[in-house]
Amino acid sequence: MDGVPSQKLNDMSRNQKPDRPAADYWATEWARSVTELAVFAITPDGFISTWNAGAEVIYGYRHDEIIGAHSTVLLPDDPKDREAFEAELRQAREKGSSAIEGWRKRKDGSVLWASVVTTALVDTNGTPFGFAKLVRDESEKRKAHEAVIESERRFRLLVDGVSDYAIYMLSPDGFVTNWNNGARRIKGYSAQEIMGSHFSRFYTPEDAAAGLPQRALEIAAREGRFESEGWRVRRDGTRFIAHVIVDAIRDDSGALLGFAKITRDVTEKREADKLLEETKAALFRAQKMEAIGRLTGGVAHDFNNVLQVLRGNLELLQTRCARDQWSMERFGNAIQAVERGATLASQLLAFGRRQALRPEPVNLAAMVRGTDDLLRRALGETIEVETVVSGGLWNAFVDVHQLENVLLNLAINARDAMPDGGKLTLELSNAMLDDDYVRSLSDVPAGQYVMLGVTDTGCGMSADVLERAFDPFFTTKPEGQGTGLGLSMAYGFVKQSGGHIRIYSEPEHGTTVRIYLPRTSAEARETTTRLNAPAMGGSETVLVVEDDTKVQATVIAMFTDLGYTVLKADNADQAIAVLSSGVHVDLLFTDVVMPGTLKSPEMARRAVQLQPHLQVLFTSGYTQNAIVHGGRLDPNVELISKPYSRKELAAKVRQVLGSEGLPLKDGANHVSASTPEVAERMALRVLVVEDDEPTRDAVSELLRMLGHSPTTASSAQSAIDAFDEAPFDVLLTDVHLPDLSGIELAHRIATVHKGISVIFASGDTVQDIKPGDFHWQSLRKPYAVDQLEAALRKARRDNA
């Protein structure tokens, strides 16, 4: 070791007898000027007794900071370093000295790699009185050593990596003369098996017969190098795609000595490249479909509102012109055109994955059997229909009614592809889509599916037609015979359902469409039969919330025609005001997409809190994400999609209200309290006093529908002024008014206008009314229409 020899230290400690302690003398004489070494002494029990300048440089402690401290302060916290330190002292005691390398700790907490020599100190009598320590900082040396080790490790990895290449030598005529481990791994032959064989055995029989091996050697001999990719054969007969380089080897005179051949298996790379291209193409298609879907969703919303106005008014006119055959035919033609438009909008929404689906566990075999008659009628007698169902068929999780539409569309496409007749095969089976299959399908998870296949024996599709088959509005049919939305609708529906759809087709060999739908372990529900039942009306109160004034007017007319009492609101805030007014409402009928900060779902939630008995029915031409999430209608949400017919509306309302309803007379309104006969019998002049404007308007609308004549006032003073200007039969007032209580208002008016009948509306019980002053009664909010009607009838009797 460089620096002070340990032997000289030992000699000094044994042969000199200093006047002061030997450790101090040694440190002073030998260590004072040493700065590249930490030289210090410790007592037998490990406490530091001397400290030189080199120790201060290496460890960072000053002399006055470290003297008297235990030497373990210089050790890292790792227990292994403590054990090594104790072993070091034991060896020094037993053998006189020890030399080790290890980690040490500086004052600032950092560590260094140190070379440490420890020498036991004894006096002339051989009695130990401590240890001398020489420490050198070898951190840089350690780093260099580790760098060399890392470099060697990387070199070994690089060398081992050559096993990815088959490297071997060929004689000038193509026989194997050398063989490396990479060649053995890739091709499967050991050196003993292959040495002396002709390299053409690695080629496929087709390529070998075509002379490709000899051609490769000829090009390499002529040009110095040959490079290509192609199929090669392993020892076990399997094939792989090889990237091959053949280099000619010549001596100094230019004579050909042979060839060096490098082969790399690039099968996985080519498959990965192919998969990447397929994934990119799939992503592009998905992005294109998403963009078009967003566009069609917005268009469908406005389009369906227009169709709703048309259909609603046409059907209302039908109920008024039932005896005019000429008009009925024209209305029928117009309604059929609306239905075609509605179908188009529905297909656009399906393609754009914007439908409000209601999936449920379905036995597809039962569903297909249920549509058998419908399919046979649609296909005609020239097409044979066969259904093949595998045993143990799983249940699928899907919206069965939408799937029926998809199946019918596919069957019609198949019929058009078989104009001279043919065979349609419906196949149902369980299917597993594994990781390899879905690798390039970003939106299809691996797992268990139920497969529905539709195969025809028709004309089939060419490759370019097949590429565009799912594109919206793309069709090969003559103009006017197809919208080009059938397959795109099927594609959108299947994707929205979490499934997968695939087309297999060749010209003159027919087409197969396979739909994979998610499997469910839940028990399938029995499918309900769609009955052609007559429309039923009702007498309940409906609050219509719709921002489109034309749609609103049409819907109100349809509800009125069905016998319902109808209130209206232009937005969600108005609807909440009406419901807070105390007016009893049975059904909230609201558009999903509404302007303003209060959205329809939140409005519906608040509405039910205000009136817990209330039922809610949403309507929309496009639901966005308000009540549809993950492509599925939210639980316990009822929706009727625009445009809907009068009959569809009637049926859906009765379903939501949960009762059979009332039959309609001659297709017109059921006679209720809002009919002209009742209105004439009960006509009253009513002053409505209410400070909340939406509530005031709602009550006034109810009174008009009951056949009465309402006038409104927003305060007690304006009510008094109104009585001075015109006579009234009934005062209908809220108890809590901003300037005067409703009870005090009634007393003041009754003193001037004798015989007035008063109806108090309040959320509380009405008290403190002196008997005999006037006829009065109370309605506790929220009150029903029939309660209001009964109160007015009593007021009529009181006035009489």
Query: How confident is the model over 762-786, as a mean pLDDT?
Result: 72
Q: What distance in Å separates the CA atoms of residue 790 and residue 538, rounded to the nearest whole number? A: 19
Q: What is the DSSP string of 97-136?
A: EEEEEEEEE-TTS-EEEEEEEEEEEE-TT--EEEEEEEEE
pLDDT value for 542: 93
Query: How confident is the model over 221-231, as a mean pLDDT?
Result: 92
| Domains along the sequence of the chain with CATH | 6-137 (3.30.450.20), 161-265 (3.30.450.20), 360-520 (3.30.565.10), 536-663 (3.40.50.2300), 676-799 (3.40.50.2300)
pLDDT value for 104: 92
> What are phi and psi for residue 597, nearest 5 degrees?
-80, -30
Least confident of 250-264, 594-608, 763-777: 763-777
pLDDT at 286 over 80: no
Query: How confident is the model over 402-418, as a mean pLDDT?
Result: 86
In this prediction, residue 12 has a pLDDT band, given cuts at 50, 70 and 90, of very low
Least confident of 1-5, 93-97, 184-188, 576-580: 1-5
Give the pLDDT confidence of 92-115 residue by residue, as tens digits: 888 888 988 888 999 999 999 999
Full-model pTM: 0.44
pLDDT value for 13: 40
pLDDT value for 517: 93
Q: Are 114 and 103 in contact (CB under 8 A)?
A: yes
Q: What distance in Å separates the CA atoms of residue 475 and residue 671, rounded to the nearest whole number? A: 51
In this prediction, residue 490 has a pLDDT band, given cuts at 50, 70 and 90, of confident
- For residue 656, the surrounding DSSP H or E stretch is helix 646-657
pLDDT value for 17: 39
Which token pair is 442?
């970003």
pLDDT value for 635: 67
In this prediction, residue 293 has a pLDDT band, given cuts at 50, 70 and 90, of low
Share the mean pLDDT of the chain.
80
pLDDT at 625 over 70: no
Q: What distance in Å separates the CA atoms of residue 561 and residue 647, rounded to the nearest whole number? A: 11
Residue percentage of the chain with pLDDT more than 90: 23
pLDDT value for 32: 55
Give the pLDDT confidence of 118-156 residue by residue, as tens digits: 999 888 887 888 999 999 998 888 886 776 566 545 544
Give the pLDDT confidence of 589-602 residue by residue, as tens digits: 998 877 778 888 88
Q: Are 307 and 550 in contact (CB under 8 A)?
A: no
Q: Report cis status (omega within 30 of 0) of the bond before 782.
A: yes
Q: Are 413 and 458 in contact (CB under 8 A)?
A: no
Top-confidence residue, 413 or 323: 413
Q: Which long-range contacts (CB under 8 A, 24 or more apart) does 158-165 make?
A: 164/264, 164/265, 165/262, 165/263, 165/264
Give the pLDDT confidence of 650-706 residue by residue, as tens digits: 888 998 888 776 776 544 443 333 333 333 345 788 999 988 887 787 788 778 877
pLDDT at 495 over 50: yes
Query: How confident is the model over 202-230, as a mean pLDDT?
Result: 93
pLDDT value for 772: 60
Rg (CA), the chain: 47
Q: Are 467 and 476 in contact (CB under 8 A)?
A: no
